Amino acid sequence: MKSENIFVCIGAIHCDYLLNLKKDIINHRTNPIIQRTRIGGVAYNVAEIISIFENIEFYSLKINNEIKKTISKKVLIKQLNNNLSNRYYVSISDKNNNFLLGLANTDAYEINKNLKIPKIINKFIIFDLNFPKTFLINTIKKLYVKNKIIVCATSISKTHKIEKILKYIDILFLNKDELIQLTKSNNIINGIKNIQNINNNIKIICTNSKNNVIYAHNKRILKIKPPKIKIKNENGAGDALAGMMLFLLSKKYTENNILKYSVACGSYYASGKKLNLKKDLKKIKNLSKKVIIK
């Protein structure tokens, strides 16, 4: 597999509306907010990170001209349908930037029943779980033989879509709640072992908010402690971690550096910052010095 331009994403792209309360919640009254808008969707967030360094193909529903003008020219959009749809995500955080609630108007992804499976060979294919269960199962089963399959779990309400196809997945990104929901386990370690019993070759990356990140592969389970930061907004931090890790894997960085740089990247985004240029990777490398692997 060539190390450049080998990434394909299949998943969500839409507007994210990030709302921060200015004051404490006033029940049953209008609450003043600060609003930010960005292009989002789990698969797109991952694609955006990778596109800083190289081109990436992106399969999703048709997007409007406003989004087309905003996304990177290095993200090549390929439509899975021809009809525009209204879809978005809203995040609500308190005045101290603590996440309170996420609202997803993403049924447009779920109701599409006639999506064609693209022909893809020798790529890293990154799925989020927004599309219908049947489409995801059939697509992953068809493409796993000649590609690397990566899944970003998306939300606890969608993990059921991959329960029966874990053996076809090469890399799985998810948070603690998604792992518990997927495996019906009572803790992270038991959940990881349950997945490894089904697929002993899978790489599992489980985020646990600001506490730690768990990495499991080849019967090893590592705990990674992120650097201490002032959290501004955790939305998209896990996706930033995933995007950075996949890029570094493709470039054959050492495992130690892959883990440190990826966790540092997630923390960097949680602090309200983001990468824009290739040279910004130096900022991540500097922050990674504060990452501890146990």
Write down the pLDDT at residue 1: 63
- Which residue in 99, 87, 103 sits closest to 20, CA to CA? 99
Share the mean pLDDT of the chain: 94
Write down the pLDDT at residue 2: 66
Write down the pLDDT at residue 232: 83
121: which 2 tokens? 């060979």
Please check whether residue 18 is in contact with residue 218, taking contact to mean a CB–CB distance below 8 angstroms: no
Write down the pLDDT at residue 258: 98
Q: Is 17 exposed, middle or buried (0-12, 13-18, 19+ CB in 10 A)?
A: middle
Question: Which positions of the chain have pLDDT values less than 70?
Answer: 1-2
Interatomic CA distance for residues 136 and 172, integer angstroms: 14
91: which 2 tokens? 């995040």
Interatomic CA distance for residues 44 and 90, integer angstroms: 16
Strands (E), 1-114: 7-10, 14-21, 33-40, 56-60, 75-79, 88-93, 99-105
For 272, residues 6+ apart whose C-beta sits below 8 A from its C-beta are 232, 233
Please check whether residue 228 is in contact with residue 236, taking contact to mean a CB–CB distance below 8 angstroms: no
Q: Which residues pair with 210 in a beta bridge?
A: 208
Query: Which residue, chain included where needed, has tokens 């309360």?
Result: 21
Fold category of 7-293 in CATH = UDP-N-acetylmuramoyl-L-alanine:D-glutamate ligase (3.40.1190)
Query: Which residue, chain included where needed, has tokens 């992270």?
Result: 188
Please check whether residue 109 is in contact with residue 61, taking contact to mean a CB–CB distance below 8 angstroms: yes
Query: Rg for the chain (alpha carbons), in Å?
Result: 18
pTM: 0.94
62: which 2 tokens? 């048709």
